[in-house]
């Protein structure tokens, strides 16, 4: 009795996977579905009766027989292997073959289902290439690239640490992953509080974590400054994960500290120079007032006596009057120069000195100048009083030269242990670029004087337009206490 050749069922013929019906005894292809013919590049019945080795040339016969020998008769039992299939044009592609044993009319058959692994292999290759590029970038990054996870229970770990860990921290990545508390112990005790506080803020607000601090490298017996920058995002079970980088900023930090120390020494030198200058001005002012002033007064008295005894000659009387006027002008010049060198009103206190300077400014420039102070006497170190007075003079000079103002308001007030002097004008105002002009030595000098006093100088827009200069200095505790009791 003739039996029809077995074929794949209709659902298998239409399946997207490759289907091969194989004679178990001869390993000949009995039927192949459309997906297999299309992928392999064969048409019609071209594969019918061909040995399976035609499409799977790398399939080892011994391995296949062993696989089939282990394939039992139970329904659904299957075995898988990976190999490469060959198309009609000779090209090969990776595939997974899954074998099942079936029977048709007492004929033992094998059903092989093939899955093209080309997309999977391409994805794996792309992933490997991407990982290789990432590793190359990370390995050449000057620092430590890391992931840090803080759990809701306070436990933490480092899921990822780049190879820069050993170069930066002096410990191997595996050691830090095994003991996550090790990094906290590396941080100097005085810097740990800032580390923990900035981490807590970043965790709560999910904002960037930026911290600078010092660590002790036991292996090198050295202290390093490091900068930590990381971006947080929520993780599973209420945890927070940071992805970031740590870098060695020791060199730049030391440079910053050197600059700060240099500025501090420069400020000390500036303060000392100004003190010496003020002392020299005071000495010269006293000598001019005492010596020249005394001599000119004596000359005026002698001229007066001589004028009274001169004959009634108009020319002689005119000459005598001219000399008397010249002496008067010289006495006024001596008085003015002495005041410029060191106003005698400074001996009456800073409030009186500033108020006098405000009146003088109004008198000489014609610009209205209002001085306000709730207190008539504020005890201030003589050197500090002189420095504050010079800042005030320079500020008024700038108003007269550049502001185009018609009114200046000066306010002096004490707030606990601070003294604040504000000079506001109604002029054209100051642009930010004006502060950066290469020859703006007036502003720089004022700022340096304020810094030498341990204070600050700030420029801002005055209410209603114009510019406000605010000088804030700290009063000596004893002076502040004495004034508070007055």
- Residue 361, in any domain of the structure: yes
In the prediction, which pLDDT does 135 show? Answer: 67
Helices and strands counted in the chain (H then E) = 15, 15
Looking at 341, 366, 382, which one is the last position of a domain? 341
Domain check: are 456 and 411 in the same one? yes
The tokens for 120 are 């999977």
In the prediction, which pLDDT does 273 show? Answer: 75
Q: How far apart, in whole angstroms, are the C-alpha atoms of residue 306 and residue 378?
A: 49
Cα separations in angstroms, 122 against 35, 172, 307: 20, 34, 119
Q: How far apart, in whole angstroms, are the C-alpha atoms of residue 427 and residue 408?
A: 9
- Residue 261, in any domain of the structure: no
Domain check: are 360 and 445 in the same one? yes
| CATH number assigned to the domain comprising residue 53 | 3.30.450.20
Let me know if 205 is exposed, middle or buried by CB neighbors in 10 A (0-12, 13-18, 19+). Answer: exposed
Complete DSSP assignment for 370-388 = EEEES-S-----HHHHHHH
Q: Which residues contact 168 (CB under 8 A, 6 or more apart)?
A: 143, 144, 224, 226, 246, 247, 248
pTM of the model: 0.47
Structure letter (DSSP) for residue 403: I
Give φ, ψ of 10 to 5 degrees: -55, -45
The tokens for 437 are 């002009």
Domain check: are 312 and 422 in the same one? no
- Give, rounded to a whole angstrom, the gap between the first and last alpha carbons of the chain: 132
- Residue 136, in any domain of the structure: no
- Residue 255, in any domain of the structure: no
The number of domains in the chain is 4
Q: β-strand 144-150 against 107-116: which pairing, if any?
A: unpaired
In the prediction, which pLDDT does 138 show? Answer: 63
Domain check: are 447 and 356 in the same one? yes
Domain check: are 478 and 356 in the same one? yes
Q: Which residues of the chain have pLDDT under 70?
A: 1-4, 72-76, 134-141, 271, 274, 278, 285, 289, 339, 342, 431-442, 477-486
Query: Strand, helix or coil at 349?
Result: coil
CB 229 within 8 A of CB 244: yes
CB 420 within 8 A of CB 460: no
The tokens for 310 are 């001169």
- Residue 433, in any domain of the structure: yes
Q: How far apart, in whole angstroms, are the C-alpha atoms of residue 82 and residue 275?
A: 90
The tokens for 326 are 């010249």
Domain check: are 352 and 409 in the same one? yes
In the prediction, which pLDDT does 434 show? Answer: 58
Domain check: are 389 and 454 in the same one? yes
- Residue 462, in any domain of the structure: yes
CB 212 within 8 A of CB 227: yes
Q: How far apart, in whole angstroms, are the C-alpha atoms of residue 292 and residue 247?
A: 68
Strand ranges, E, within 237-343: 240-248
Q: β-strand 418-425 against 222-234: which pairing, if any?
A: unpaired
- Residue 400, in any domain of the structure: yes
Looking at 306, 341, 376, which one is the last position of a domain? 341
Number of Cβ atoms within 10 Å of the Cβ of 482: 12
Q: Over pLDDT 90: what percentage of the chain?
A: 33
Looking at 121, 155, 177, which one is the last position of a domain? 121
Domain check: are 337 and 356 in the same one? no
Q: How far apart, in whole angstroms, are the C-alpha atoms of residue 360 and residue 172?
A: 73
∠418-419-425 over CA atoms, to 5°?
135
Q: Provide the domain limits for residue 151.
A: 141-248
Rg (CA), the chain: 47
Cα separations in angstroms, 295 against 321, 347, 473: 18, 24, 42
Domain check: are 429 and 371 in the same one? yes
Biggest CA-to-CA distance, the chain: 175
The tokens for 62 are 């011994």
Domain check: are 174 and 198 in the same one? yes
Domain check: are 325 and 363 in the same one? no
Structure letter (DSSP) for residue 283: H
Q: How far apart, in whole angstroms, are the C-alpha atoms of residue 148 and residue 169?
A: 15
Q: Can you tell me which residue has the tokens 């290759």? A: 125
- Residue 306, in any domain of the structure: yes
> Shortest CA distance to 451 belongs to which of 188, 183, 210, 265?
265
> Shortest CA distance to 9 belongs to which of 30, 23, 27?
30
């Amino acid at each position: 009795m003739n039996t029809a050749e077995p074929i794949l069922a209709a659902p298998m013929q239409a399946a997207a996977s490759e289907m091969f019906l194989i004679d178990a005894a001869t390993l000949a292809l009995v039927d192949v579905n459309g997906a297999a013919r299309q992928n392999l590049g064969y048409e019609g019945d071209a594969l019918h009766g061909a040995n399976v080795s035609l499409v799977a040339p790398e399939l080892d016969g011994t391995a296949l027989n062993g696989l089939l020998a282990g394939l039992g008769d139970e329904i659904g039992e299957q075995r898988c292997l990976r190999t490469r299939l060959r198309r009609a044009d000779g090209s090969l592609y990776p595939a997974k073959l899954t074998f099942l044993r079936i029977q048709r009319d007492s004929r033992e058959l094998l059903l092989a289902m093939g899955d093209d692994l080309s997309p999977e292999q391409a994805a794996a290759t792309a992933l490997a290439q991407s990982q290789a590029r990432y590793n190359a970038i990370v390995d050449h990054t000057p620092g430590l690239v890391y992931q840090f996870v803080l759990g809701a229970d306070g436990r933490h770990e480092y899921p990822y640490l780049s190879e820069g860990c050993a170069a930066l921290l002096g410990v191997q990545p595996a050691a830090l992953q095994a003991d996550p508390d090790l990094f906290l112990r590396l941080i100097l005790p005085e810097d740990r509080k800032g580390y923990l506080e900035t981490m807590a803020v970043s965790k709560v607000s999910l904002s960037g974590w930026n911290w600078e601090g010092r660590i002790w490298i036991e292996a090198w017996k050295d202290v390093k400054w490091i900068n930590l920058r990381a971006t947080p995002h929520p993780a599973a079970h209420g945890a927070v994960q940071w992805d970031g980088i740590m870098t060695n900023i020791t060199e730049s930090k030391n440079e910053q500290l050197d600059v700060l120390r240099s500025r501090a020494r420069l400020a000390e030198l500036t303060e000392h120079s100004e003190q010496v200058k003020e002392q020299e001005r005071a000495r010269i002012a006293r000598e001019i007032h005492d010596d020249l002033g005394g001599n000119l007064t004596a000359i005026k008295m002698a001229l007066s006596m001589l004028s009274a005894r001169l004959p009634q000659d108009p020319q002689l009387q005119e000459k005598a009057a001219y000399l008397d006027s010249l002496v008067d002008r010289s006495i006024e010049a001596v008085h003015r120069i002495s005041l410029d060198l060191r106003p005698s009103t400074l001996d009456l206190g800073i409030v009186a000195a500033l108020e006098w300077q405000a009146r003088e400014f109004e008198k000489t420039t014609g610009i209205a100048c209002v001085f306000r102070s709730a207190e008539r006497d504020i005890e201030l170190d003589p050197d500090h009083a002189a420095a504050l007075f010079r800042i005030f003079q320079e500020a008024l000079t700038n108003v007269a030269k550049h502001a185009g103002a018609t009114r200046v308001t000066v306010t002096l007030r004490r707030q606990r242990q601070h003294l604040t002097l504000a000079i506001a004008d109604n002029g054209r105002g100051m642009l930010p670029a004006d502060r950066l002009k290469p020859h703006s030595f007036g502003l720089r000098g004022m700022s340096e004087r304020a810094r030498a006093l341990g204070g600050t100088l700030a420029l801002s827009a005055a209410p209603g337009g114009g510019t406000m200069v605010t000088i804030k200095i700290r009063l000596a505790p004893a002076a502040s206490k004495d004034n508070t009791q007055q």
